[in-house]
Amino acid sequence: MEDVLLPIVIVGMLFIGLPWMILHYLTKWKSGRGISQQDEVLLDDLHEMARRLDGRLNSIERIIAAEDPTWKDGRLTDLSASDDTGKISKFQR
């Protein structure tokens, strides 16, 4: 009886268990590669917050420019300005 049962179990494991396990982990791997619904919602919220903060920053810059005509927006000029060492200074105005 044991001589018949052992080959049946081995064949079952090879032709049923092994492919099931491989296909199971392949589907888990493929579903884990994409972005989840929670991550997509988080990215949308962060994008909206960044857009609002950019609008606030622009408003503050307009207010400062209206109060002090000598003030200039340093964000665009910082990329081309450099000090004596050749490094770009973040706070040059």
DSSP secondary structure, 28-76, as one string? HHHHHHSPPHHHHHHHHHHHHHHHHHHHHHHHHHHHHHHH-TT---HHH
If asked whether residues 8 and 22 sit together in one domain, one would say yes
Q: Count structural domains, the chain.
A: 2
Q: Which of 69, 73, 81, 80 is nearest to 57 (CA)?
A: 73
pLDDT at 51: 97
88 domain residue, yes or no: no
| 58: its two tokens | 């622009």
Please state, as a whole number, how many other Cβ atoms lie within 10 Å of the Cβ of residue 7. Answer: 9
- Percent of the chain surpassing pLDDT 70: 77
**Which structural domain range is residue 12 located in?**
1-32
Residue 77 lies in a domain: no
- pLDDT over threshold 70, residue 1: yes
Q: Quick one: 46 and 65 in the same domain? A: yes
Report pLDDT digits (tens) over 45-83.
999 999 999 999 999 988 988 888 787 765 555 545 544
Q: What pLDDT does 47 receive?
A: 97
Give the predicted TM-score (pTM) of the model: 0.46
